[in-house]
Amino acid sequence: MRPTILNPLFAEIRTLDGVGPKLEKLISGIAGPRLVDLAFDLPVGVIDRSYRPKLAEAEIGRIATVSVNVLKHTPSRDRRQPYRVLCSDETSTLELVFFHAHADYLNKQLPVGSRRIVSGKIERFRDALQMTHPDHIVAPEDEGGLPLHEPVYALTEGLTLKPLSKAIRGALAKLPELPEWDDPAFLAARGWNGFASALRAAHMPENEGDLRSETPVRMRLAFDELLANQLALLLIRRQMRAAAKGRSLRGDGRLKAKAIAALPFALTGAQLQAIAEIEADIAAPNRMLRLLQGDVGAGKTVVAFLALLNAVEAGAQGAFMAPTEILARQHMASLATLATAAGVRMALLTGRERSGRDATLSALAKGEIDILVGTHALFSEDVTFADLGLAVIDEQHRFGVHQRMLLQGKGGRPADVLVMTATPIPRTLALTAYGDMDVSRLTGRPPGRKPVATRVLSADRLDEVIDHLRRAIAGGARAYWVCPLVEESEKIDLAAAEERAALLKRMLGPIVGLVHGRMKGAERDAEMARFKAGETAVLVATTVIEVGVDVPEATIMVVEHAERFGLAQLHQLRGRVGRGSGKSSCLLIYHGKLGETAKARLKTMRETDDGFVIAEEDLRLRGAGELLGTRQSGLPEFRLADLAVHADLLAAARDDAQLILARDPELQSPRGQTLRVLLYLFGRDEAVRYLRAG
Ligand code: ADP
Ligand code: MG
């Protein structure tokens, strides 16, 4: 149960005055559905209204707050003319200008003969001073309500600053005085405020400097968010390990030896080391929770398969889970030879095919299937293993902590879990996302892999790109052509995959195929198969090919609107080529003029192909929130912490969390109780459930 002290903060935002359904939808879109989400929506800018000149000395172009008398209203004669209100102080006059104004409203706001404080940008029109749509108009007795330093928040279409600011103020007004959960000596040493007062202060910046992630106020908030994250991960980790006591699987190596003998290549040192780490975990009595991190093409699949064989040798079953239908099928196909060589029984289970499903499930329950390959369908209620020993989750960032937990119950006894990600994650971020796991890294690429020549080109040179493609295809090459969206949207000028495919077909002939996210699975698979078989030579695609698709013959990757992709995504895309023996190239096409960040990003792509370097750079350039470019990434999103800046705080939070749990494992002490409040505040309810009631 959430501590009652937090209840006001967890009220829905529609309970605020002035927030109706429309505003609620807009606000929850950018912040979240509850008051706490609003309170955590920190300002991104500040308007300084403290400049209070007499009119005669007011600087043109500057935001000023002036005190004036209202002299006269001049309503607009037609809709194109503005409504004007003439005002003055003892030194000069100022005309307030309103377009599409309501006379009633303005008469009420600015009655003739009254005194008003108005704030906005001073402009000059002909010889007179004017202010178009003042930001604030208040009577002298209400001056206290006029913010001299006004926080600016990120907005979205249809949402303006005023109602959002008002809602945020409303949320902050509900902020209770929270108990202190941090160590007083630690706070004193850092010079940090209490959480609530820091949060209020964060919403009252006076200058740009106050918005920096390094201010004591922002650091305090970030630290607590990271502490909640680390505590939660440690609790989950402890829970998963505790649930796993007593299981130890030891393979004898006979199946593995057969599979390795059937491999057309030798395993690399990094692969062998990863396999050894995994096997040691599987053999240990504790539950394995290991992350196998390796760049695109690093050869994770074979490592996972050998680990699965290890479990099968020990008499258990294995599950191999992929994030998409395409990938599940691809794993199934590419592992078939090895499975046959090893003599293990492998089957496929996805959400799509209905026929054969019952037979597969019953064989699985009887232990007649050794390794089950599939998608999320493996999580379904009706899937029962006879004895699941090891579950491998490929491309974990699409699954997230919650699904990792779900796996626990399968087959009665908790299985060992190996999670794989091809998205190289900076060390700092790995700790926040996978702090509950041990990590193996597959550094380097398999031998024989050639670097991919990368060029950055303006869309003005599309003709050249197509020419280049035509020649390459004539020589037998195959190419991906990636576009960010499926259909041309009126508002955003993105190159649409469908249109691009049509154009390329006109220019290059019928050898152009198309896959996109809105296609039915079977259709998409057929299209992929045609490309794999060489029936098509150019595959136009939305980013559905981003993850793991393996066509070694493809040697050219064209990415349109490359400026819109994050570094990690570009890196993944580029990793689709350079897989075979041919020389590969990657053409990054940008549209329009490049911004500084996009420029830096594309430069990084040209300069390195080390995924871990790219990931660090991505974190530096964009911050963690956007690191993977997607919200469904499964990585935690921090609202108060900025990992590009707060990496040191993360380490401190990690140490603190470890110390806390070592001293007070169930968070029962007085400080422990306050830390429970912290966990709830940051929505880590799940972790609290693993604590003894207290
Ligand atoms: P990823 O780590 O991206 O999942 P894969 O496991 O799909 O990479 O491997 C990419 C390609 O490299 C596959 O075609 C695989 O057969 C091949 N491969 C894996 N290990 C080696 C190796 N040691 N030597 C040569 N090729 C390898
Ligand atoms: Mg893979």
Residue 170 has pLDDT above 80, yes or no: yes
Q: How confident is the model at residue 548 (pLDDT cuts 50, 70, 90)?
A: very low
**Does the pLDDT at position 491 exceed 80?**
no
Residue-level pLDDT at 635: 56
Q: Three-class SS of residue 456?
A: strand
Does ligand 1 come within 6 angstroms of the Cβ of 267? yes
387 CA → ligand 1 middle, Å: 29
Q: Supply 194's token pair.
A: 């209490």
C-beta of 301 in contact with ligand 1 (< 6 A): yes
Residues 6+ apart with CB under 8 A from 518: 486
Average pLDDT, the chain: 87
Among protein residues, the one whose CA lies closest to atom 20 of ligand 1: 299
Q: In a mutational test of the pocket of ligand 1, which residue from 260, 265, 329 has the highest number of ligand atoms less than 8 Å from its CB?
A: 265
Residue 638's pLDDT is 85
- 268 CB near ligand 1 (under 6 Å): yes
Residue 168: strand, helix, or coil: helix
Q: Is there an atom of ligand 1 within 6 Å of 389 CB?
A: no
For residue 298, the model assigns a pLDDT of: 84
Testing ligand 1's pocket by substitution, the residue of 300, 302, 571 carrying the most ligand atoms inside 8 A of its CB is: 302
Whether residue 213 has its Cβ less than 6 Å from ligand 1: no
Residue 488: band (very low, low, confident or very high) from pLDDT cuts 50, 70, 90: very low
Q: How large a percentage of the chain has pLDDT more than 70? A: 89
Q: How many Å lie between the centroid of ligand 2 and the Cα of residue 339?
A: 17
Reduced 3-state DSSP string for 506-543 = HHHCCCEEEECCCCCHHHHHHHHHHHHCCCCCEEEECH
CB of residue 297 inside a 6 A radius of ligand 1: yes
Query: Is residue 400 over pLDDT 70?
Result: no
What pLDDT is recorded for position 565? 84
Amino acid sitting at position 652? A
Contact 134, 63 (CB under 8 A): no
Distance 297 CA to ligand 2 centre (A): 7
User: The dihedral of CA 52, 53, 54, 59: what is its sign?
Assistant: negative
Q: What's the 322 CA to ligand 2 centre distance in angstroms?
A: 9
| Residue 295 to residue 299: CA distance in whole angstroms | 8
- C-alpha 429/C-alpha 33 separation (Å) is 26
Using the mean position of ligand 1's atoms as its centre, give its distance from the Cα of residue 445 in Å.
8
Q: Kindly give the number of the ligand 1 atom that is closest to the alpha carbon of 267.
A: 23
The better pLDDT of the pair 210, 396 is held by 210
Q: How far apart are CA 17 and CA 37, in angstroms?
A: 16
Q: Does 300 sit in the ligand 1 pocket, CB within 6 Å?
A: yes
Distance from residue 292's CA to the centre of ligand 2 (Å): 11
227 has pLDDT over 60? yes
CA 298 to ligand 1 centroid distance, Å? 6
For ligand 1, atom 18, name the residue with the nearest CA. 299
Residue 296 has pLDDT above 80, yes or no: no
What pLDDT score was predicted for residue 487?
A: 46
Q: Which of 538, 302, 345, 299 is nearest to 441 (CA)?
A: 299
Position 611 confidence tier, pLDDT thresholds 50, 70, 90: confident
| Amino acid 57: pLDDT | 95
Mean pLDDT of the 305-310 span: 96
| CB of 405 sitting under 6 A from ligand 1 | no
User: What is the pLDDT, as a whole number, of residue 629?
Assistant: 38
The first and second tokens of residue 438, run together, are 């041990």
Residue 358 has pLDDT above 80, yes or no: yes
Instruction: Please give the pLDDT value at position 243.
Output: 63
More confident residue, 404 or 642: 642
Q: Looking at ligand 1, which atom is closest to the CA of residue 303? A: 6
Whose CA is closest to atom 23 on ligand 1? 267
Q: Is the CB of 584 under 6 A from ligand 1?
A: no
Q: How confident is the model at residue 402 (pLDDT cuts 50, 70, 90)?
A: low
Please tell me the distance between residue 552's alpha carbon and the centre of ligand 1 in angstroms: 10
Report how far ligand 1's centroid is from the alpha carbon of 367 (Å). Answer: 29
Query: Is residue 274 within 8 Å of 298, Cβ to Cβ?
Result: no
How many A from CA of 376 to the centre of ligand 2?
16
Expressed in angstroms and rounded, the spacing between residue 560 Cα and the centre of ligand 1 is: 27
Inter-residue contact 570 to 559 (CB < 8 Å): yes
Is 676's C-beta closer than 6 angstroms to any atom of ligand 1? no
Question: Which atom of ligand 1 is closest in space to residue 394's alpha carbon?
Answer: 4
More confident residue, 537 or 144: 537
Q: Please give the average per-residue pLDDT across 222-228, as a whole number.
A: 96
Q: Has residue 623 got a pLDDT over 60?
A: no
User: Can you tell me the mean pLDDT for 147-168?
Assistant: 91
* In contact, 394 and 305? CB cutoff 8 Å: no
- Average of per-residue pLDDT across 475-488: 79
Calculate mean pLDDT across residues 303-323.
94
pLDDT digit string (tens) for 12-50? 999 999 899 999 999 998 889 999 999 999 999 999 999
pLDDT surpassing 80 at residue 364: yes
* 652 CA → ligand 1 middle, Å: 37
Q: What is the pLDDT of residue 399?
A: 54
pLDDT score of 447 more than 80: no
Whether 293 contacts 443, CB under 8 Å? no
The per-residue pLDDT for 547 is: 46
422 pocket-lining for ligand 1 (C-beta < 6 Å)? yes
296 Cβ closer than 6 Å to some ligand 1 atom: yes
pLDDT at 633: 44
Nearest ligand for residue 320 CA: 2
What does the alpha-carbon distance between residue 351 and residue 104 come to, in Å, rounded to a whole number? 61
Report which DSSP code applies to 211: G
Q: What is the mean pLDDT of residues 562-570?
A: 84
Mean pLDDT along residues 319-335: 90
User: Given ligand 1 and candidates 271, 301, 392, 551, which is best to mutate, with the most ligand atoms within 8 Å of its CB?
Assistant: 301
Tokens of 10: 């967890």
Q: What is the pLDDT of residue 311?
A: 94
Identify the burial level of 502 via C-beta atoms within 10 angstroms of its C-beta, where 0-12 means exposed, 13-18 middle and 19 or more buried: middle
Task: Output the CA torsion sign for 62, 67, 71, 74.
Answer: positive
User: By the 8 A CB rule, do 470 and 508 touch?
Assistant: yes
Q: Whose CA is nearest to atom 17 of ligand 1?
A: 299
Confidence of residue 265 (pLDDT cuts 50, 70, 90): very high
HSE (CB half, 13 Å, CA atoms) of 334? 21
- Rounded to the nearest angstrom, the distance between the alpha carbon of 301 and the centre of ligand 1 is 7
User: Has residue 571 got a pLDDT over 90?
Assistant: no
Ligand 1, atom 1: closest residue by C-alpha: 297
Of all ligands present, the nearest one to the C-alpha of 295 is 1
Angle at 632 between CA 629 and CA 635, to 5 degrees: 80
Strand bridging mode 585-590 / 438-442: unpaired
Closest-CA residue, ligand 1 atom 15, reads 299
Nearest ligand for residue 300 CA: 1
Higher pLDDT, 29 or 455: 455
pLDDT above 90 (res 517): no
Give 3-state DSSP helix, strand, coil % of the chain, rounded to 5: 45, 15, 40
Pocket test for ligand 1, best of 393, 550, 573, 577 (most atoms within 8 A of CB): 550
Q: Is the pLDDT reported for residue 181 higher than 90? A: yes
CA 299 to ligand 2 centroid distance, Å: 7
- CA 271 to ligand 1 center in whole angstroms: 10
